[in-house]
Amino acid sequence: METTIDIVLLTFLCITAMAIIHIRKLFCAIMLLGIFSLLSACLFVTMDAVDVAFTEAAVGTGISTILLLGAMGQTNAHEKRPPYQPILALLVVLVTGSILIYGTMDLPAFGTPDAAIHLHVAPRYIQQSPIEVGPPNMVTSVLASYRGYDTLGETAVIFTAGIALVALLSAPYKKNELAVKNEQGSLSTIQPATLHDHLILRIIGKMFIPFILLFALYVQFHGDYGPGGGFQAGVIFASGIILYSLIFGLDTAMRVISPTALRLLGAAGLILYIGVGILCILNGGNFLDYNTLASRPVDGQHLGIFLIELGVGTTVFAIMVTMFYAFSFRGRHST
């Protein structure tokens, strides 16, 4: 049964990918990419990766689609047909694909328990993490405690990407002489209709937003016991704010939470993470060695994981909303 679901979902994924290649309307391609993400999230669930599925569903179908649409609205909604047939590209892809498939011949079959990947560090994580670290969700233990350095790095990358995006999009807008208006008339010339006029959307949105935010907080603080954690919670909280801003307009949303506050929050989350690490050093341990934070090591682990998940959640939330603000603000001023 599991195998059947797996193969059906994989087939759907392949069909969606083919449709994305084929279609020339960027709007359709972006929507199909959202479906693609949702399908892959389902596939992750069948492969026991519930935390990953959670993240993919929140990021792939929510934030990523919104950002792509934001960029499309400011550029061009239609892809031009290239003047040549990309036969060489097809050839390169076919050759690379066959080499990769030849490479998989040596891999252990899908789902075998004695594959090399399951024999190295995984038994330690599975058997010892509930005793050494505490949280029943092993993914949280590995993410926040065993591989805390990695997660710190990833959080820093997200923060840096946010800075880069703000730097790129907050430069003063100057229309170059070179820029010629597209003959088809790009979407940016059409003033976007505000969703505020849609009565049903407005009422339903108003009802949903508190629950989305509450759910994000649940995901944040329940990440030790079930699927969830700072990354997912940050993205879900951000999608609540983005929904608010889509329905009630950018100005209202910016009054609720200002871009300056978001930038401070983004930095504060990262500083909280690093601060916990330094606190561990001051208490006589190594960087991010939570055992030193409390008298009992397991309590220390619990406190440390709670704090750094909070830091991750804050940074991810702030950076995601900052990115959305930057795109929509640019879009309004470029028209």
Q: Scanning residues 7 to 66, which ones bind other proteins (CB under 8 A)?
A: 7, 10, 13-14, 17-18, 20-21, 26, 29-30, 33, 36-37, 40, 43-44, 47-52, 55-56, 59-60, 63-64
Per CB under 8 A, the list member of 42, 61, 105, 249 interacting with other proteins is 105
- 166's tokens: 């703000």
Which of the residues 259 through 288 are near other proteins (CB under 8 A)?
Answer: none
Which residue's CB is nearer to other proteins, number 2 or number 210? 2
Interatomic CA distance for residues 20 and 30, integer angstroms:
8
Closest distance of CB 199 from other proteins, Å: 32
Residue owning tokens 């561990």? 280
Interatomic CA distance for residues 305 and 290, integer angstroms:
8
Closest distance of CB 35 from other proteins, Å: 12
**Which phi and psi angles does 25 have, rounded to 5°?**
-80, 120
Closest distance of CB 242 from other proteins, Å: 13
Interatomic CA distance for residues 253 and 263, integer angstroms:
15
Contact yes or no for 63/238 (Cβ under 8 A): yes
Structure letter (DSSP) for residue 117? G
Stretch that binds other proteins, among 113-121, 252-260, 285-293, 301-309 (CB under 8 A): 113-121
Q: What angle do the packed helices 64-74 and 26-46 form, to 10 degrees?
A: 170
Which residue's CB is nearer to other proteins, number 180 or number 282? 180
Contact yes or no for 278/196 (Cβ under 8 A): no
Which of the residues 158 through 197 are near other proteins (CB under 8 A)?
Answer: 158, 161-162, 164-165, 168-169, 171, 173-176, 178-182
Stretch that binds other proteins, among 70-78, 189-197, 246-254, 275-283 (CB under 8 A): 70-78
